[in-house]
Structure formats: C-alpha cells, structure tokens
Amino acid sequence: MSLAVVVHAAGDLRLDPVEPREPGPHEALVAIEYGGICGSDLHYVKHGAAGLSILKDPMVLGHEVAGRVAALGSEVTGFEVGQAVAIHPAIACGECEFCTSGRRNLCGNVHHLGSAAYYPHTEGAFAALTAVPASQLRAVPDGVSTRQAAVAEPLGVAIHAVRRAGSIEGKTVLVNGAGPIGALVIAAARKAGAGRVIASDLAAGSLAIARRMGADDVVNLAEGGTLPATDVVFEASGAPAAVTSVLRAVKRGGIVVQVGNLPAGELAVSLAELVFREIDYRGSFRFVDEISTALAYLGEGLDVEPMLTHEFPVEEAIEAFRVAGDRSTGSSKVLLRF
C-alpha cells in the first residue's frame, strides 16, 4: 500500500492507504520524494472546490512533485529506474486549435493532476507511489535535488507569466504579491533580464523572502507604502482590490500580467485606465512546457531555497496544510517529504 494525501470534502483532509497502480506499457511508476502544497490544494481542503472545479468524490491532491522512477512500462524509452524526475501535471488533447498552435495550456480538454474539473476526478500525485504517462516525466538535471525539483512546476508558472509580458529586458518591473508564485516571478524576471525588480506585499516576512529571491526594492503596503510606476506589473496576489491598484500604478502604455488566481464571479474593478492610458492587461494560465525551462534554470544554479520555508514528513500532512494556509506562520512554499 502507498500512503496518500486525500481530500474527502471541505475541511476533511486525511492520510489514506492506497494501492499503487501498476504502470501500463507507456507509463512510469514514480516514487515521490517531495511535493509542494499549492494554493489550489488549499482551496480544495478549505472550500471543497478550486474555482469552478467542485469536489464530488475523495481525491488525492498534489501536482508539484519530484521523485525517482520506480518502474517503467514495456514501451517506455529514454528513462531509467532510479532516475530523478519531475512530473508535468497536465495532459492535453493534442488535437485542438490550441494544442496544434503551441498553447496547450489553453486546451479545453486538459486533465491536470489533483483536479476535480472532470468526473471522475484526476487523482493527484501526493502518494508515495504514483503511476503517470511517461510523456509527463521531465529529467532532473545533475546537481539538482528532488527537493528543489519539486518547485519546477510553480517556477514554470512564473516563467510562463514573464513570457506573457514579452521582452522585459532592461525594464522596471513590479511584482505585486510576494507569496510563492510572486517570489518565483521575481526570480524568473531576473533571468529574463529585467533592469529593476520591485516587490510589494502586506507581509514583512514575504518581502524579506522577495529580497532574497532577487528583488531590488520592496514596498510594504501594510505600512502605508504606495505602488511605484513601472513598465510592467505582475499581479500575483489574486486579491480583487489589487487589480484596480496595479492598473493605476503601471506607466502609460504599460503591461499588467494577471498571475494570481482571481475569485470566480463578478468583481468590482475600475477598467477606465485600460483605455485612457492604453494599458495591456493580460492573463496567464499555468504553462505550456516551461517546467522544462524551470528545471534548466535550477540546473544553472537558480536558488529557490529562500522560499522553501517549511518541510514536513507526509505523516504530518494535516499540520503542513495548516501552516501553508496561514500566512502568519511565515510560510511561503511548504513541502511534503515522502
């Protein structure tokens, strides 16, 4: 049996024994070593839903994972038992207009690990042994630990967001919201050649992490700090009130990329700035294959340790989720160790 982190309903998170599935001919069985708790995992536990994806049955959580190949299907080539791998969490249809034009992240029939978007749900990877199609495996570079590689998935989200802004080389960038994704956007913006990176947040602890991740300056909004005018803004907080604030802060003709997930439903947002100051407001959803770029960055020495604030053995998953969901604990990325 394999121990798994399973959400049964809102407020009902359990550690359940599950029988690991034997890999099919084109699959691999991965012994998960580390997993990062994502905001969507927290939403399923707190609300029984993540956005429009509503939990109907118990579901294994987790999609930010890395481990080692435990077994390979008969038709799998290119990987070896014992090899360190990260897992791309999405399987797209491969046939729609988005899949065939390089935007698989927008596929309307994509299945994502640990998601209740479809029924039956797509089980996640917070289990000691997880079988996935070998096409989802990504080799971890030499010198990168599986602890670090577990961050490749959210780093891929950050890299995709930075790419949505176009070239930011030499530009002044604001990252609003210095939680885990915001911290990684700072690192990705640095790699993309941003001239100056500023982070803003309500929490001093998050801003301290932002500095260690590469921010030149920080703005503490809880202490009366104001958003500076910059060429590009990455809105990573997901707070509805922040949308109006960043639209007013970005320079005329600037770009705002919405990275943080906004609540479903209607929001009160002032959009007049879009017209009168000709601002581009762009969405950013997951990633295509930027997880591979993320692993390359890690192999080149990108340091994610400043944001890895907590680590728990899987047996303490319930406490790990509590810490991850409470910013007063000083948590950024919380890891489970399998």
Residues 152/176, Cβ–Cβ less than 8 Å: no
Does the pLDDT at position 1 exceed 90?
Answer: no
Minimal CA–CA distance to 233: which of 206, 273, 289, 272? Answer: 273
Has residue 306 got a pLDDT over 90? yes
pLDDT band at 327 (very low <50, low <70, confident <90, very high): confident
The domains found in the chain, sorted by start residue, are 2-151+304-337 (3.90.180.10), 157-283 (3.40.50.720)
pLDDT surpassing 90 at residue 51: no
| Tens of pLDDT, residues 228-258 | 999 999 999 999 999 999 999 999 999 999 9
Q: Say how far apart CA 190 and CA 48 lie, in whole Å.
A: 36
Q: What share of the chain is helix, strand, coil (3-state, %, to 5)?
A: 30, 30, 40
Whether this prediction's pTM lies above 0.85 is answered by: yes
- The whole-number pLDDT of residue 334 equals 98
Query: What average pLDDT is seen over the chain?
Result: 97
Q: Which two tokens stand for residue 58?
A: 């118990």
Distances (CA, A) of 181 to 22, 109, 153, 304: 34, 25, 10, 11
pLDDT in tens, 206-226: 999 999 999 999 999 999 999
Task: Please say if the pLDDT value at position 184 is more than 90.
Answer: yes
Compute CA distances 242 → 106, 113, 226, 248, whole Å: 25, 29, 12, 10
Confidence check: pLDDT of 90 > 90: yes
Q: What is the mean pLDDT of residues 117-128?
A: 97
Residue at token pair 């910013």: 327
Could you tell me which residues are beta bridge partners of residue 122?
A: 115
DSSP string over 146-206? HHHHTTHHHHHHHHHHHHHT---BT-EEEEE--SHHHHHHHHHHHHTTBSEEEEEES-HHH
* Residue 263: pLDDT band with limits 50, 70, 90: confident
Secondary element (H or E) of residue 311 = strand 308-313
pLDDT band at 173 (very low <50, low <70, confident <90, very high): very high
How far is the C-alpha of 102 from the C-alpha of 99, rounded, in Å? 6
CB atoms inside a 10 Å sphere around CB 83: 16
Element (H, E) at 255: strand 255-258
- Residue 173 has φ and ψ, to the nearest 5°, of -125, 140
